[in-house]
Every structure is written in C-alpha cells, then in structure tokens.
Amino acid sequence: DAKTTQPPSMDCAEGRAANLPCNHSTISGNEYVYWYRQIHSQGPQYIIHGLKNNETNEMASLIITEDRKSSTLILPHATLRDTAVYYCIVRVFNSGYALNFGKGTSLLVTP
C-alpha cells in the first residue's frame, strides 16, 4: 500500500469548512483513497473513499488531484462533534482487505 502523509493537527472554527490534506505521491493506478475518523473513545468510522473522481456523501466531500498524488477531505460546515482524528489510507480496493491506519490528523473544531 502507498504511504500517506498528513499534518499531525489542525484547527477549524465551528461552522467553517474543514479541509484536511493528504499526500500520497506513490499511489498506484489501482489504489483507492479511503478516509476514516475516530472520535475520542470510539472505534474508527468510515467516511468516504474514491479512486480518481471527486466524491461526495452526506458526511463529506473528497477531492483527488488529477495526478492522484494528493487529496483533500472537506467537511463543509464543521461542528464540535467533528473533533476527531482523521485517517487517510491508500490501498488496493480488493486485495488483502486489511486497512493500515497511520497517525492521522487530529482535528479540533472550536466554538
């Protein structure tokens, strides 16, 4: 699986958009980008995933650059409940099927 790089921490004001970057410069053509988050004392929670097109669901949007070497997870209107550690994971869609979580980005949403 390709290695990912995320900033260790970020702040965001409540109600504003939170943009969480992830670099994955060694990503290969058949690897997807997954995002999970872990709220304190809970298990990780799936957010979204994509291959090369931008994706949106009820939780977030995922923007993947054209060269696929980086991506951004966007929480359009962050709330205090979005305070969590966000993990960007890159892996082949259906091989091995074990996700390796790195250190992630600790997002603090402030009032």
Partner 1 sequence: DAGVIQSPRHEVTEMGQEVTLRCKPISGHDYLFWYRQTMMRGLELLIYFNNNVPIDDSGMPEDRFSAKMPNASFSTLKIQPSEPRDSAVYFCASSLGPGTAAGYTFGSGTRLTVV
Largest CA distance in the chain: 42
Single out the residue of 89, 110, 93 nearest to residue 18, CA to CA: 110
Write down the least CB distance from residue 65 to partner 1, Å.
22
Cβ-based neighbour number of residue 62 at 10 Å:
22
User: Residue 93 interacts with partner 1 (CB under 8 A)?
Assistant: yes
Residue 98's SS3 state is coil
User: Which of 25, 30, 45, 56 is close enough to bind partner 1 by CB under 8 A?
Assistant: 45
User: Residue 52 interacts with partner 1 (CB under 8 A)?
Assistant: no
Q: Is 10 exposed, middle or buried (0-12, 13-18, 19+ CB in 10 A)?
A: middle
User: Residue 46 interacts with partner 1 (CB under 8 A)?
Assistant: yes
Write down the least CB distance from residue 19 to partner 1, Å.
22
Q: What is the per-residue binding string for partner 1 in 12-41, x denoting contact by CB under 8 A?
A: ----------------------x-x----x
Binding site for partner 1 (CB under 8 A): 34, 36, 41-46, 49, 93-103
